[in-house]
A and B are shown apart, each in its own frame.
Chain A
């Protein structure tokens, strides 16, 4: 208590910033490259409409299947649309769909997992079994069935991917909440007369959010893959809307004729974004596996 007197400001120890801690545990270059690439992707996506790009959806019948040139950096596709411009614009499509589906998954999965972990018993058992059944079901098959039943719209694609994110988050949060349930500050909150729901939302969920944030980029990577995968088989995003999966699909028909640029460039963009998001998720995990 004497330290407090000597130092009336209280805290003498300042917590290092988030970025500082990430760099300390992962090394500068790993953090810089991965976050840098992600920022470039996001920046290009946001700025795409104002950048001096060609119209991504304007066909030019006289100029189809051209190899990369000074005019068309990544070449042109079957309909003569500029692949460079389409690849950039596709960031908007893929990332928006991916992020919204992941956020829906979190918004539903986190409370679900917290409630099932906190209350336990029969409710927990039922919820866990349902999520397991759901996770065991093949995703593309479910996607096809859902779209066949509910219509081929972007909203439905988002919902499909969101459904697959709910169990991921509910299980993760549940696993963090179960040990938290008997921690003393939760007991103390109970002693203070808080209701169970208040304890869950105010005391338990905030303490379970770190792994959720670490999982978020990974889920986004997964969602980007799944959206591209669905549109590759013709579900969801329709040509001419720029989207990596459908672009790869169009190019796949021409790759045997040596027209490699149709698929390779959107494929590289897809690969890069997924890879970087995976790395970022790993980097963020160091925050909670190695507590400073």
Chain B
């Protein structure tokens, strides 16, 4: 069953006189219970996709077209009150910089208790107890002491755990994690990813993980969506996309990650197109070794190459 259905979403940013076309008509389906990774370079539109789902786009952004269906309701058509009921209780988000995502003026436990109290009511004491429980569940030592600490007393990894605890206390159906491991030590990265996977399984929730690091993604996700320059290049199960990718961009991207074998580090020649421009053909044509005339004339549609595996390329 499809939990989130994004249909032909277009988002623009108006910055001064420039218009940045951040999302150029993307479509994706996220099945209930899956762990989906959205991967791509900086500026590929992965974070914009996630923030659109929560309608957290900055005021300079305009959603010009498309729908985001969450359990059948269009999130883009909801008013502020209806949206608030969904945020935090059905969709939750873990931020990139967890230390900045906690208000420096309140103890961590209180912030978690607030979220619980806000959605479930009950007594303050009960909410506090629940906050301590989830902190313990996310592996924070001495949770009853730590709950009374302020965010500046937490390390980066602990702050990320606290953010995950906050997501846990909401028990959402959809958890969006926006680069949850960037800025953490490699050893902590694995722990945090394991914790996210654990929490998602416990809640029976759906995970959308945004990352640029394919190796981390392959560890916990079972579906992968590859984005480039505001378009979806390839989507499929982790095995399909990572083992035998169909799209030239994914192939080149994986080559870059595959290692160097002591030779020159592989890279994709050319550069990412200017997102302020609109073009006719494929967004990857300028860097693609297989590019033909048609790639410059027509933009390829997302086509199914095998069951559940989609690629937007004229030749795949």
Contacts and interface: CB of A to CB of B under 8 A. Distances in A.
**Do chains A and B interact in one complex?**
yes
Interface of A: 1, 4-5, 8-11, 13, 120-121, 182-185, 187-196, 203, 206-207
Contact of B148 (A10, A185, A206, A207): A10
B235 to A, nearest CB: 25
Closest 8 CB pairs of A and B: A193-B88, A192-B88, A184-B100, A188-B101, A184-B101, A193-B87, A10-B145, A185-B103
Interface string B137-170: 0000110011011000101011000010010001
Interface of B: 54, 56, 58-59, 80, 84-89, 91-93, 95-97, 100-105, 114-115, 118-119, 141-142, 145-146, 148-149, 153, 155, 157-158, 163, 166, 170
22 contacts: A1-B157, A1-B158, A4-B141, A4-B146, A5-B141, A5-B142, A10-B149, A11-B149, A121-B59, A185-B102, A185-B103, A188-B95, A191-B54, A191-B88, A191-B91, A192-B114, A193-B115, A193-B119, A194-B118, A203-B103, A207-B103, A207-B104
B105 A188 contact: no
Nearest to A192: B88
A120 B84 contact: no
Contact of B118 (A9, A183, A185, A193): A193
Given A10-B142, A185-B103, A207-B103, A190 B158 contact: no
Given A185-B101, A207-B105, A191 B93 contact: yes
Contacts of A188: 93, 95, 101-102, 163, 166
A194 B95 CA distance: 17
A119 to B, nearest CB: 10
A88 B112 CA distance: 52
B12 to A, nearest CB: 18
A120 B59 CA distance: 10
Contacts of A120: 59
Given A120-B59, A193-B85, A206 B105 contact: yes
B97 A184 contact: yes
Contacts of A185: 100-104
A9 B105 CA distance: 20
Contact of A189 (B97, B103, B142, B149): B103
Contacts of A5: 141-142
B134 to A, nearest CB: 14
A10 B153 contact: yes
Contacts of B97: 184
Interface centre among A182, A184, A203 (most CB of B within 10 A): A184
Contacts of B96: 184
A166 B145 CA distance: 42
Given A1-B158, A193-B89, A183 B100 contact: yes
A1 B87 contact: no
A93 to B, nearest CB: 37
B184 to A, nearest CB: 12
Contacts of A9: 145
Given A192-B87, A193-B118, A187 B141 contact: no
Contacts of A13: 153
Contacts of A207: 103-105
A103 to B, nearest CB: 22
A9 B141 CA distance: 11
B57 to A, nearest CB: 11
A182 B58 contact: yes
Contacts of B58: 182
Contacts of B93: 188, 191
A188 to B, nearest CB: 4
A9 B93 CA distance: 30
B282 to A, nearest CB: 34
Given A185-B104, A187-B56, 20 more contacts: A1-B141, A4-B141, A5-B141, A8-B142, A8-B145, A10-B142, A188-B95, A190-B54, A191-B56, A191-B91, A191-B93, A192-B166, A192-B170, A193-B84, A193-B85, A193-B86, A193-B87, A193-B88, A193-B89, A203-B103
Interface centre among B85, B105, B166 (most CB of A within 10 A): B105
